[in-house]
Structure 1
Amino acid sequence: MLDSTFNRVNPNAGTLPVRSLLIDLDGSLTAQPGMQRRLAGGSMTRIDARDLASSLRIVAGQGALSSLRERIADACPIADPIAHGPPPLIFYGSGDFHHLATLFLQALSGPVLVLHIDNHPDWTGWPATWNCGAWVNRALELPSVHRIVTVGPASDDFIRPQWAFANLEAIRQGRLEVHPWHAEPSRLWGRPVEGPGCATRAGRIVWQCLEGRSWDEVVDGFDARLPLLPLWVSLDKDALIPAEAVTNWDQGGLTLDAVLALVRRLAERRRILGMDVCGDYSRPVFSDPFRALLSATDRPRLAQPDPRTAAAINDTTNIRIMLAVDEMAAMGLWTS
């Protein structure tokens, strides 16, 4: 059944799959048939990191980060795509681990344009740790990162962003763009915030939201305006509608078709360095009160989904992502 589905939806079923990496932190990926197929076929490498998960979820400890960095370097040298095939496609489980995107970006030489697709801006400046709500700031500290373009947030992070230490200064400097799916005007104290995606009017940041706009026009606008730099894509599937992803966070209004259309268009004129994908479902389990408290105060109260239903929906979406990347590689859009 999986073979027939694979060939039916994959226009390039005879092409070699893009080399990919599965970082097994929470068990959310290894039971998915799409991942099993890639692992069995040899195009995907699995890194066992469940022993590090409790020290990486929500906030990353430095020791666990160093251990994971060593395991990735041994299994899949991200910084040497020419010698090791196409650029990597990385899956690593729950969005609780999204700050690991900075680890992948560290291995790249710049300047790099980062396309960040997420239901949350992940822009908080405090605490200044490697945590899932602040990883954008850690990435902006890297000399290789030229700009981060965040697309799709519809969370409550826009209500009083300064109270949550949002990095509005990076928007003023042109190093960060934020394009919400939906956001009401945000109360602002101090200097105006102006940039692509927002403007300050009467003491409020008015966001140019994506909801209801022609997606073709949105994609055209991004392609025409963004610099022609090598591109890294970081996708948290909580930006997607619930029919296409089941996560342990609140979710946005993007469709996967819209996301892939944007990536394809940008790839036509920019070299794709790689893509990391998180946002699979796993029940948050913590071994220390610090991470449990951070999770409880930041995460909305959501009904627990059926794990089998979550795995089936996420498997379908992950297969579509993998096949889309294979297709782009076959067309020469995903090249080293």
Structure 2
Amino acid sequence: MQTTILDFTGVYSFQPFMQGLKGDSRLVSATSNAEILYIDCADISGTDCYCDDEAVETIRKRFADAGITNAHGIHFFDNGNYHYMSKIWTDMVQEPFSLVVFDHHPDMQAPRFGNILSCGGWVKKVLEENKFIDNVVIIGVADHLVDEIRAELSQASDASILSKVTFIKESEVRKTGTPTSFSRTPTSFSRMRESLRSPTESGMTEGRIYISIDKDALSPAYAATNWDQGSLDVAALKEIIAGLATSHKIIGVDICGERARDFAGDEHHTVQEADALNSGLNRELAEFLAPFL
């Protein structure tokens, strides 16, 4: 299994686990069998929140130079401002698949100018541009944001894409004091499983999924991010993924949601606490996900 680290802001240098991965990594050619790739993206302009066309091509070239040809493995790519990287990764999926996103935001807004790729609209672009996408499930979105994006898109000319999206609202996965809280809400769980059913060549309902995790879906008790956060707990996150893995093939997983580079502390964490928390969570997720990939 390959782990890829895309470092845009340098924040990973403050996390012991990520420092360890970087120390074991190498930027390699397609003929190498390296398991850890580190790609420094700090010098690429036009990437913060919005990724312009030139930056997209630069990133794709660095993928090619590193021998990356598919979306398999685990991919880390900095804070939530770079969540559009999920679009670039899923562009490499060349088979029917579903997209499962953990995020406190729907990331389905139309761009404010042009057709530029953005952290707030990348899911919409996947639905519009990827011919292999079957459907999308977004888990942990703030309830009011679900209502707002439904209203916004239902009045637009591209309202049809909503038929491919299932929202599992934050209130449906909120921590209830038990590690199996999500599976004990059968309505939410069955809606998610039903939406992910897609035919395969064998005629079975098992399909392929790509998972994107923005840690801002989690409570501040588990992560320190640069966006407002939800209330999902890590046990529920892992439970959902493990449940999906019993009936689906996981193509790849990406993880974003680090603290801002200029974070100076807040009511939840000091800078040192935030780095320790995020480092521990990245390690926990990497170790948990590895057997599924």
TM range (shorter): 0.7 to 0.9
What is residue 130 of structure 2 aligned with on the other side? 142
- The answer on whether the counterparts of 2:143 and 2:170 sit within 8 Å (CA) in structure 1 is no
Structure 1 residue 164: deviation in Å?
Answer: 5.0
What is residue 201 of structure 2 aligned with on the other side? none
1:58/1:163 CA distance change after superposition, 3 Å: farther
Structure 1 range deviating more: 228-237 or 30-39: 30-39
1:46/1:250 CA distance change after superposition, 3 Å: same
Please say if 1:88 is aligned against 2:88.
no
- Cα deviation digits, residues 217-252 of structure 1 (max 9, x gap): 347523465212111000000000101110111000
The 5 A counterparts of 1:139-288 are 139-140=126-127, 141-154=129-142, 156-158=144-146, 160-161=148-149, 165=153, 169-170=159-160, 172=162, 174-182=163-171, 209-211=172-174, 214-218=181-185, 220-221=189-190, 222-223=192-193, 226-227=196-197, 228-283=206-261
What secondary structure sits across from 1:133 in the alignment? coil
Please say if 1:57 is aligned against 2:57.
no
CA distance in 2, matches of 1:280, 1:237: 8
Tell me which structure has the larger Cα radius of gyration: 1
1:25/1:74 CA distance change after superposition, 3 Å: same
- Identity in percent: 25
CA distance in 2, matches of 1:71, 1:23: 10
What is residue 9 of structure 2 aligned with on the other side? 26
- The answer on whether the counterparts of 1:154 and 1:181 sit within 8 Å (CA) in structure 2 is yes
CA distance in 1, matches of 2:137, 2:211: 10
- The answer on whether the counterparts of 2:135 and 2:196 sit within 8 Å (CA) in structure 1 is no
List, as ranges, runs of 4+ consecutive aligned residues in structure 1 with deviation greater than 6 Å: none
The 5 A counterparts of 1:123-134 are 123-127=108-112, 128-134=115-121
1:225/1:131 CA distance change after superposition, 3 Å: closer
- The answer on whether the counterparts of 2:141 and 2:170 sit within 8 Å (CA) in structure 1 is yes
- Cα deviation digits, residues 62-88 of structure 1 (max 9, x gap): 101100111122224242x8xxxxx32
What is residue 107 of structure 2 aligned with on the other side? 122
CA distance in 2, matches of 1:76, 1:321: 25
Give the letter aligned to residue 287 of structure 2. L
Gaps of 5+ in 2: 26-34, 198-205
CA distance in 1, matches of 2:164, 2:147: 22
Structure 1 residue 261: deviation in Å?
Answer: 1.1
Which of 82, 88, 92 is the aligned partner of 1:103?
88
- Cα deviation digits, residues 278-302 of structure 1 (max 9, x gap): 00012479xxxxxxxxxxxxxxxx8
1:284/1:178 CA distance change after superposition, 3 Å: farther
1:19/1:282 CA distance change after superposition, 3 Å: same
Which of 262, 287, 292 is the aligned partner of 1:323?
287
1:161/1:113 CA distance change after superposition, 3 Å: closer
TM-score by length of 1: 0.71
Structure 1 residue 20: deviation in Å?
Answer: 0.1
1:112/1:162 CA distance change after superposition, 3 Å: closer
TM-score by length of 2: 0.81
1:48/1:212 CA distance change after superposition, 3 Å: closer
Structure 1 residue 305: deviation in Å?
Answer: 5.4
Structure 1 residue 158: deviation in Å?
Answer: 3.9
What is residue 84 of structure 1 aligned with on the other side? none
Structure 1 residue 44: deviation in Å?
Answer: 1.9
Give the letter aligned to residue 272 of structure 1. I
1:49/1:225 CA distance change after superposition, 3 Å: closer
C-alpha RMSD over aligned residues: 2.6
Q: How many residues align?
A: 262
- The answer on whether the counterparts of 1:120 and 1:155 sit within 8 Å (CA) in structure 2 is no
